[in-house]
Amino acid sequence: MSYLKDFPNPEGYFGEFGGAFLPPELEPHFAEINHAYRTLARSGDFLNELRYIRKHYQGRPTPVYYAHNLSRSVGAHIYLKREDLNHSGAHKLNHCMGEALLAKHMGKRKLIAETGAGQHGVALATAAAYFGMECEIHMGEIDIAKEAPNVTRMKLMGAQVVPVSFGGRSLKEAVDSAFQSYLSQADEALFAIGSVVGPHPFPLMVRNFQSVVGIEAREQYLEMSGGELPDHVVACIGGGSNAMGMFAGFIEDAQVQLNGVEPLGRGTKLGEHSATMTYGKPGMIHGFKCMLLADAEGNPAPVHSIASGLDYPGVGPEHSYLKTTERVAYHAINDDAALDAFYQLSRTEGIIPALESAHAVAWAMKHGRENPGTTILANLSGRGDKDIDYVAREFGHG
């Protein structure tokens, strides 16, 4: 496993991407996080505790399922890694549990984060409840109104939801607000980033916590297929954590083609999509370098996707790097195709996917139709319960 050991380098770079561009007052805190993680990642106690949590609390390993009806209708073999069955309904708990365990070992008593649609906030509130920690989630007022069920879930689990009422009152302002709050209490709190983004060491830590997905899936697939590997592995990409977790299990298998799927939204013009890899260029956001969708002044551009977990104008630095080496192929799937996959998977298999995950399923269906007989393992990053009211109201029952 040399790639995962060699990347990122000690300064947190994947080629030209990554790094840590921090206000000076945060530098010592990130140095402390980095040191703690490096030490704990090698500690048997830490790894055993994480293993215990995954098995007895999260319900891991999640299964790999051969989607036999969908496969028959497409004419190729589609397998699903069922992260929708991970406790709290998505892959995000994998890294939130890791981050919370790190915080505990660092002697912190509080977790702070921002959330957009509320998925990261819910996963972090879950982890905080498990460890008996305080949890402070910053969320734009617009998102609070849109995502009421997730706000309720966070509050039920004891998190404090801080409404953000300045600027666009959405994700970007929530990040600023959470960072500001963290600055004033960094001695006792950990800022828990929600994907393979942000300053080093978060892209490294979150990838490693998520790699359980790919490691399990590889073993399960080998067992189901009698020793074969899939032709393709595919996952959707917002920041890129579920995809990096999945890819980590297969990155040394040169014969397995890795595919990341970004949202093409409702069109190819800036503001209509969130396809960072396809239309972005190198830039800087939230303290790290990556591919970025920027406006004429170089500021992060407005983005859109039917899946709110995918609409981020940046992307993880490791994905930015893996595009330059061409180890991973990046594709874009639009809202209509994702919606069609959402209906198809629900109808044919009785599995309602998150709209985010439906992007990966849509690519698997499209590629399978064009390449009959091919084998595709798709990461079903989350369940679609959070999306059913919106989909039924806007588009009907399919």
Ligand X SMILES: *Cc1c(COP(=O)(O)O)cnc(C)c1O
* Residues annotated as part of the active site: 92, 114, 381
Enumerate residues 184-213 that contact ligand X by CB under 6 A: 195
Residues 6+ apart with CB under 8 A from 52: none
DSSP state string for 21-42: ---GGGHHHHHHHHHHHHHHTT
Q: Quick one: 64 or 186, whose CB is closer to ligand X?
A: 64
Q: Which two tokens stand for residue 144?
A: 């609070």
Contact pick of 126, 357, 374, 375 for ligand X (by CB under 6 A): 357
Chosen residue from 239, 249, 313, 368 binding ligand X by CB under 6 A: 239
- Judged by CB under 6 A, the residue of 77, 81, 82, 92 near ligand X is 92
Q: At its nearest, how many Å lie between ligand X and the CB of residue 232?
A: 18
Question: Which class for 318: exposed (0-12), middle (13-18), buried (19 or more C-beta within 10 A)?
Answer: buried
Count of residues in contact with ligand X, rule CB under 6 A: 18
Of 242, 259, 320, 346, the one binding ligand X by CB under 6 A: 242
The dihedral formed by the CA atoms of 27, 31, 34 and 36, expressed in degrees to the nearest 10: -130
Q: Minimum Å distance from CB 87 to ligand X?
A: 13
Residue type, 171: L
Contact map string, positions 113 to 132, toward ligand X, x by CB under 6 A: ------x-------------
Smallest distance from ligand X to CB 255, Å: 25
When the beta carbons of 263 and 374 are compared against ligand X, the nearer one is: 263
Strand partners, 211: none
- DSSP H helices in 119-257: 119-131, 141-146, 148-156, 171-183, 202-225, 241-248
Beta strands 288-292; 281-285: pairing state: antiparallel
Q: Which of 230, 356, 363, 376 binds ligand X (CB under 6 A)?
A: 356
Q: Interface with ligand X includes 265 (CB under 6 A)?
A: no
Nearer to ligand X, 241 or 344 (CB): 241
Which amino acid, 12? Answer: G
Query: Applying CB under 6 A, which residues contact ligand X?
Result: 90, 92, 119, 195, 236-242, 309-310, 354, 356-357, 381-382
